[in-house]
């Protein structure tokens, strides 16, 4: 029986576009997703979980179920409908109201500035491939820091790596481009520079509160002991983990990271060019991150692969339909005997422990870590208002045990946010991939606590993982 620290945060995570709905309400400006989803014709981000209207109920549920932290994001285009310039007072007020409601219950709120939802006007000009977007993002961040002094924890970006790869490698996020490694690398780098600029601005202006970034970090292991598989895992790791952690905590990219990048570029006919002055920003910011947010769901076993790029995203929950082969990096394989979800996400809690220990070892200036997302996408069974989600409880139990083990071994993890607080809309999967503690009937918008919500309440009250 494992214990977690007394002051640990037992939170729930959401994101504006996935929870709020109301995409055309309250003066909100468009995002690229609106049109992208309409064209795709599978599902829309309305109604999502209607958090825009239901937030008082959701926050009350938090207080009833021991959830003492909430992660949410501000929709940039609710504040600046065109991304820059004109401000929408209704949007500004909405987040004051949400924050005040959370305060009523003493819930700690972690606010992300950007969770996959660049305003359309900026997106159409190249999103973060266009350096003007970095200026716009800094202006938007500054506005928020000054407007919302009630926020204690700020996050610049949610998941830079999935943004870059889903937009330009897998093509499952707008603009839907596939296999363009030049764009992937430019996007990764530019967003890291934008993060550093905003951290520097935050610290140099002396705003109160803490600031950090949320990275999606999924541990990579070689598929076998063969040297070429070990190298493939190294390359996959270099692009998805080392690149970002180097930029966050080392102020630049290590020699190994750049060598990996060069190899990946050579195989994919790609290139990069990082302006010198960017490293001044990265260097200044490297010790100024108050915390690192880690989103971690899965790990990957990687095998050498030199064939053509071939990725198929399992966005339907038909187990076994996903595949991931990237030329000059590797192929992610399903390792025999290891469990995975219906969406082919490997369940491997050891991966989280190994990742946490590695950060402590390789990036000792990390200060504090929050697990800002972890959870299990599951086709919940709803029977007369009762949802028995044992597999999800089992998943959370195992991953939290890895967190407790890492804390015992000296890693400073201060909180955990389950993805997701209530069922929300999933970007590339729609509405049948549920993660919430609270089941949402998307027709009526009624909420129903799942079995996991009762389990989580007990956990939060006793700090004991049962
Ligand atoms: C993370 C995102 C979340 C959320 C989660 C689950 O990458 O930050 O926004 O969607 O993954 O992913 P999915 O909805 O694809 O199952």
**What does the pLDDT look like over 81-104, one tens digit per residue?**
999 999 999 999 999 999 999 999
Residue 346 contacts residue 334 (beta carbons within 8 Å): yes
Q: What is the CA radius of gyration of the chain?
A: 21
Average pLDDT, the chain: 98
> Tell me, what's the pLDDT at 372?
99
- Which pLDDT score, from 0 to 100, does residue 87 have? 98
What mean pLDDT do residues 144-167 have?
A: 98
Residue 356 domain-assigned?
yes
b or e along 375-403 (b: 16 or more beta carbons within 10 Å of the residue's beta carbon)? bbbbebeeeeeebebeebbebbbbbbbbb
Whether residue 264 lies inside any domain: the answer is no
Give the model confidence (pLDDT) of 235-253 as tens digits. Answer: 999 999 999 999 999 999 9
Q: How far, in Å, CA of 422 to CA of 211, rounded?
A: 25
Q: Kindly state whether residue 274 falls inside one of the protein's structural domains.
A: no
pLDDT digits (tens, 9 = 90+) for 340-368: 999 999 999 999 999 999 999 999 999 99
Q: How confident is the model at residue 176 (pLDDT cuts 50, 70, 90)?
A: very high
CA of 429 to the centre of ligand 1 (A): 9
Q: How far is the CA of 419 from the centre of ligand 1 (A)?
A: 8
Instruction: Extract the tokens encoding 24.
Output: 């055309």
Query: Does the residue 323 lie in any domain?
Result: no
Determine contact, residues 420/436, Cβ cutoff 8 Å: yes
Q: pLDDT tier at 310 (50, 70, 90 boundaries)? A: very high
For ligand 1, atom 6, which residue shows the shortest CA distance?
426
Residues with CB under 6 A from ligand 1: 15, 18, 158-159, 162, 216, 295, 373, 377, 419, 426-429, 433
ipTM (interface predicted TM): 0.98
Question: What ranges in 120-217 are assigned the alpha helix state H?
Answer: 120-123, 132-147, 160-168, 181-204
CATH assignment of the domain containing 158: 3.20.20.80
The answer to whether residue 246 is domain-embedded is no
Count: domains in the chain: 1
User: In this predicted structure, what is the pLDDT of residue 334?
Assistant: 92
Q: Is 42 a member of any domain?
A: yes
Range of the domain at 115: 2-220+279-297+346-465
Specify if 317 maps to a domain: no
pLDDT tens for residues 21-33?
999 999 999 999 9
DSSP state of 225: S
- Helices (H) and strands (E) counted in the chain, each on its own, are 16, 17
Give catalytic status of residue 408 as yes or no. Answer: no
Q: Tell me if 226 is assigned to some domain.
A: no
Residues of the chain with pLDDT > 90: what percent?
99
Contact 279, 252 (CB under 8 A): yes
Quick one: average pLDDT of 423-441? Answer: 97
Checking if the pLDDT of 336 tops 90, the result is no
Tell me how many degrees the CA angle 239-375-230 measures, rounded to the nearest 5. Answer: 30
Q: Are the C-beta atoms of residues 213 and 197 closer than 8 Å to each other?
A: no
Instruction: Tell me the three state secondary structure of residue 451.
Output: helix
Q: What is the pLDDT of residue 294?
A: 99
User: Is pLDDT at 1 greater than 90 in this prediction?
Assistant: no
pLDDT tens-digit profile of 376-425? 999 999 999 999 999 999 999 999 999 999 999 999 999 999 999 999 99
User: Which residue's CA is the closest to the ligand 1 atom numbered 14?
Assistant: 426
């Amino acid at each position: 029986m494992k214990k977690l620290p007394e002051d640990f945060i037992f939170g729930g995570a959401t994101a504006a576009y996935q929870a709020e709905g109301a995409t055309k309400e309250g003066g909100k400006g468009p995002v690229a997703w609106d049109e992208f989803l309409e064209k795709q014709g599978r599902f829309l981000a309305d109604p999502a979980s209607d958090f825009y209207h239901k937030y008082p109920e959701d926050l009350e549920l938090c207080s009833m179920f021991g959830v003492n932290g909430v992660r949410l994001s501000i929709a940039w285009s609710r504040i600046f409908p065109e991304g820059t310039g004109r401000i929408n007072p209704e949007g500004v007020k909405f987040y004051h109201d949400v924050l005040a409601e959370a305060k009523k219950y003493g819930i700690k709120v972690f606010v992300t500035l950007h969770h996959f939802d660049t305003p359309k006007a900026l997106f159409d000009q190249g999103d973060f491939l266009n350096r003007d977007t970095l200026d716009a993002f800094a202006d938007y961040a500054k506005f928020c820091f000054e407007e919302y002094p009630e926020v204690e924890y700020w996050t610049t970006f949610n998941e830079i790596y999935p943004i870059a790869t889903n937009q330009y490698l897998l093509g499952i996020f707008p603009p839907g481009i596939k296999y363009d490694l030049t764009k992937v690398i430019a996007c990764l780098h530019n967003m890291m520079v934008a993060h550093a600029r905003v951290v520097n601005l935050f610290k140099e202006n002396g705003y109160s509160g803490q600031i950090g970034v949320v990275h999606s970090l999924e541990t990579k292991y070689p598929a076998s002991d063969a040297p070429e598989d070990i190298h493939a895992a190294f390359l996959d790791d270099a692009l998805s983990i080392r690149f970002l952690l180097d930029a966050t905590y080392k102020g630049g990219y290590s020699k190994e990271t750049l060598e990996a990048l060069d190899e990946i570029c050579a195989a994919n006919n790609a290139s990069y060019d990082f302006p010198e002055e960017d490293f001044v920003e990265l260097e200044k910011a490297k010790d100024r991150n108050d915390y690192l947010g880690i989103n971690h769901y899965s790990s990957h076993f990687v095998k050498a692969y030199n064939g053509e790029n071939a990725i198929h995203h399992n966005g339907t929950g038909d187990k076994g339909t996903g595949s991931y082969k990237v030329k000059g990096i590797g192929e992610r394989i399903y390792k025999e005997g290891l469990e995975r979800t219906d969406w082919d996400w490997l369940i491997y809690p050891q991966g989280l422990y190994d990742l946490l220990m590695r950060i402590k070892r390789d990036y000792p200036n990390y200060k504090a870590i929050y697990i800002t997302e972890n959870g299990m996408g599951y086709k919940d069974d709803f029977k007369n208002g009762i949802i028995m989600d044992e597999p999800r409880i089992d998943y959370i139990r195992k991953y939290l045990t890895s967190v407790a083990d890492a804390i015992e071994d000296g890693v400073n993890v201060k909180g955990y946010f389950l993805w997701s607080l209530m069922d929300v809309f999933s970007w590339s999967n729609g509405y049948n991939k549920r993660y919430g503690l609270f089941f949402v009937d998307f027709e009526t918008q009624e909420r129903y606590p799942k079995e996991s919500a009762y389990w989580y309440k007990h956990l939060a009250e006793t700090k004991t993982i049962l």
